[in-house]
């Protein structure tokens, strides 16, 4: 046991790798030396020049070394729904997927709307999680959409941003004041853009396919109307705003105009919406019931096309563990959500293998961009940065067996999917927390 711990504390040389550092647009062959929890150097020929005694030398031939991923949107059940997921199990899933920082959502029980609960989550994570965990706090008390939370105190306690999770704040006045007030603390507001009245009974994308399945649809306007409103409020208030999960082509037009106007607006898309479409629902597969719903193929293609130019800034997992009891139901009655933290990178590599994205673009949207937006120190291999590093084989073929997933729930949309590319080592703060053998 002691040996193991010693080995993990030893310096690590990741040798003969393809180094990709999206924070510097760097894609070179070389070595990365990690010691004392930080990155010492990332360049060609470190190994040849000699490394400190006791260094663990890992041959990374054929593998990519990159900054650990930052997952900007993950729903975790702790506190209150530990049967779905705990910070510990989520962190193990994250480590296996190359995610070294989880940004968890405030829809816990109780809701993360009080500095003491932020403190609880941070302590719990410190004691049980093997990757970094940062909570977002609720934007409104109890996520009820009526009164803003203690944004200043919550931020001081460690809340990374403010959001009502998968709920939209429908009251424009509440949103306006929250944006205005948050601006005094330079706090980021992250918003789920889905008008609940337009969603109504809708459970999948509105259109032919929903009509054929006899399911009620969610129009794209449910998203664009809310996004458009928010853009006007950001214009009015000068606040800092992030659209939590965009799904359709029309939203990209709204986003493009907002960015062209110079507003402080950024946006995410989930890995699900970038790699799947409504047809994947097939015969009522509830694991593909998501909120917002999977859209049409041309929406998916347009979202993917928005990653390269940086219109969509961030790719996140939208990790949402749901157990059998909430998923083994008729489609309309099943809970929305899919797990994804462990498969985010692998699924994203589909877009690289298909030629739609370059590897560095994919990694940027999963590491350096979220780091910039959230003000986190990770997402880079610069000397002196925290040693949150992953090694992955971009080509390794495998078939996903849900029983091997680390998450407590197995509601993966990639159930038995053929995948290509896999994380082989995850290092958090200089310690190896996951190894694939």
Partner 1 sequence: MNIAPKSSFVLSQRHLLGIEGLSREDIIGLLDLSGEFVDLNRQIEKKTATLRGRTLVNLFFEVSTRTQASFELAGKRLGADVMNMSVSTSSMRKGETLIDTAITLNAMRPDIIVVRHHASGAVELLARKVDCSVINAGDGSHEHPTQALLDALTIRRRKGHIEGLTVAICGDILHSRVARSNIILLNTLGARVRVVAPSTLLPAGIERFGVEATRDMREGLAGADIVMMLRLQKERMSGSFIPSMGEFSHYFGLDEKKLSYAKPDALVMHPGPMNRGIEIDTAVADGAQSLIRDQVEMGVAVRMAVLEALSRHLPNA
In angstroms, give the least distance from the CB of 416 to partner 1: 15
Q: Which string of x and - marks every residue 263-292 that binds partner 1 (by CB under 8 A)?
A: --------------------xx--------
Choose one: 103-111, 213-221, 237-245, 250-258; the region binding partner 1 (CB under 8 A): 213-221
Return the number of the residue (186 or 325) whose C-beta is nearest partner 1: 325
Buried/exposed 309-330: b ≥16 CB within 10 Å, e otherwise: eebbbbbbbbbbbbbeebbeee
Alpha carbon separation from 48 to 11, 43, 52, 177, 390 (Å, rounded): 16, 11, 12, 58, 22
Return the number of the residue (332 or 419) whose C-beta is nearest partner 1: 332
Query: Is 217:211 a contact under the CB 8 Å cutoff?
Result: yes
Instruction: Work out which of 120, 181, 185, 331 binds partner 1, going by CB under 8 A.
Output: 331
Report the chain's terminal Cα–Cα distance, integer Å.
Answer: 19
**Quick one: which of 229, 205, 227 has its CA closest to 217?**
205
In angstroms, give the least distance from the CB of 333 to partner 1: 6
208 binds partner 1 (CB under 8 A): yes
Query: Is 390:65 a contact under the CB 8 Å cutoff?
Result: yes
What tokens were used for 178? 């929250």
**Quick one: which of 9, 39, 145, 46 has its CA closest to 387?**
39
212 binds partner 1 (CB under 8 A): yes
Burial of residue 144 (number of CB atoms within 10 Å: 0-12, 13-18, 19+): middle
217 binds partner 1 (CB under 8 A): yes
Alpha carbon separation from 324 to 155, 399, 410, 413 (Å, rounded): 36, 22, 8, 14
Instruction: Work out which of 198, 301, 332, 396 binds partner 1, going by CB under 8 A.
Output: 332
Choose one: 26-34, 331-339, 385-393, 396-404; the region binding partner 1 (CB under 8 A): 331-339
Instruction: Work out which of 325, 395, 401, 404 binds partner 1, going by CB under 8 A.
Output: 325
The neighbouring-strand residues paired with 67 are 389
Q: Strand, helix or coil at 395?
A: strand
138 binds partner 1 (CB under 8 A): no
Q: Strand, helix or coil at 138?
A: strand
119 binds partner 1 (CB under 8 A): no
In angstroms, give the least distance from the CB of 334 to partner 1: 9
Return the number of the residue (120 or 209) whose C-beta is nearest partner 1: 209
Return the number of the residue (277 or 343) whose C-beta is nearest partner 1: 277
Active site residues: 318
What tokens were used for 375? 């003000």
Question: How many residues of this chain interact with partner 1, rule: CB under 8 A?
Answer: 22
In angstroms, give the least distance from the CB of 194 to partner 1: 17
Return the number of the residue (50 or 282) whose C-beta is nearest partner 1: 282
Choose one: 84-92, 158-166, 183-191, 328-336; the region binding partner 1 (CB under 8 A): 328-336
Return the number of the residue (5 or 324) whose C-beta is nearest partner 1: 324
Instruction: Work out which of 328, 354, 383, 397 binds partner 1, going by CB under 8 A.
Output: 328
Return the number of the residue (111 or 334) whose C-beta is nearest partner 1: 334
Q: Strand, helix or coil at 240?
A: strand
Asked if residue 79 has a cis previous peptide bond (ω within 30° of 0), the answer is yes
Choose one: 40-48, 207-215, 242-250, 384-392; the region binding partner 1 (CB under 8 A): 207-215
Q: Sheet containing 132-135: which strands, arranged edge to edge?
A: 69-74, 99-104, 132-135
219 binds partner 1 (CB under 8 A): yes
Residues that bind partner 1 (CB under 8 A): 206-217, 219, 283-284, 325, 328-333
């Amino acid at each position: 046991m002691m040996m193991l711990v010693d080995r993990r504390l030893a310096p690590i040389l990741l040798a003969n790798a393809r180094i990709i550092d999206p924070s510097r647009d760097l894609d070179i062959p070389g070595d990365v030396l990690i010691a004392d929890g930080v990155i010492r150097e990332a360049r060609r020929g470190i190994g040849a020049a000699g490394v400190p005694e006791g260094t663990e030398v890992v041959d990374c031939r054929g593998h990519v070394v990159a900054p650990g991923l930052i997952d900007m949107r993950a729903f975790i059940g702790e506190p209150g729904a530990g049967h779905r997921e705990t910070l510990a199990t989520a962190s193990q899933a994250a480590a296996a997927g190359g995610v070294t920082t989880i940004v968890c959502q405030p829809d816990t029980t109780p809701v993360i709307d009080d500095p003491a609960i932020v403190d609880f989550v941070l302590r719990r994570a410190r004691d049980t999680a093997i990757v970094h965990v940062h909570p977002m706090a609720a934007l409104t008390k109890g996520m009820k959409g009526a009164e803003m939370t203690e944004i200043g105190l919550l931020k001081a306690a460690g809340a990374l941003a403010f959001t009502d999770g998968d709920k939209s704040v429908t009251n424009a006045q509440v949103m306006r004041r929250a944006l205005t007030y948050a601006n005094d603390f330079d706090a980021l507001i992250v918003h789920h853009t889905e008008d609940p009245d337009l969603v109504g009974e809708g459970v999948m994308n509105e259109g032919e396919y929903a009509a054929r399945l006899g399911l009620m649809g969610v129009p794209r306007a449910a998203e664009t109307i809310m996004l458009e409103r928010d853009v006007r409020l950001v214009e009015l208030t000068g606040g800092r705003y992030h659209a939590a999960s965009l799904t359709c082509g029309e939203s990209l037009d709204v986003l493009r105009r907002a960015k062209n106007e110079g507003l402080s607006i950024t946006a995410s898309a989930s890995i699900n919406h970038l790699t799947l479409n409504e047809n994947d629902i097939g015969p009522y597969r509830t694991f593909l019931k998501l909120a917002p719903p999977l859209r049409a193929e041309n929406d998916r293609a347009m979202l993917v096309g928005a990653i390269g130019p940086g219109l969509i800034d961030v790719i996140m997992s939208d990790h949402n563990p749901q157990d059998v009891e909430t998923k083994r139901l008729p489609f309309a009655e099943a809970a929305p959500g899919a797990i994804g933290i462990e498969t985010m990178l692998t699924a994203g590599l589909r877009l690289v293998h298909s030629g739609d994205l370059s590897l560095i673009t994919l990694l940027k949207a999963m590491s350096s961009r979220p780091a910039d937006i959230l003000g986190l120190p990770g997402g880079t291999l610069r000397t002196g940065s925290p040693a949150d590093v992953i090694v992955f084989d971009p080509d390794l073929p495998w078939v996903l067996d849900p029983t091997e997933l680390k998450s407590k729930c197995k509601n993966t949309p990639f159930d038995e999917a053929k995948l290509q590319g896999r994380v082989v080592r995850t290092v958090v703060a200089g310690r190896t927390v996951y190894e694939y053998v």
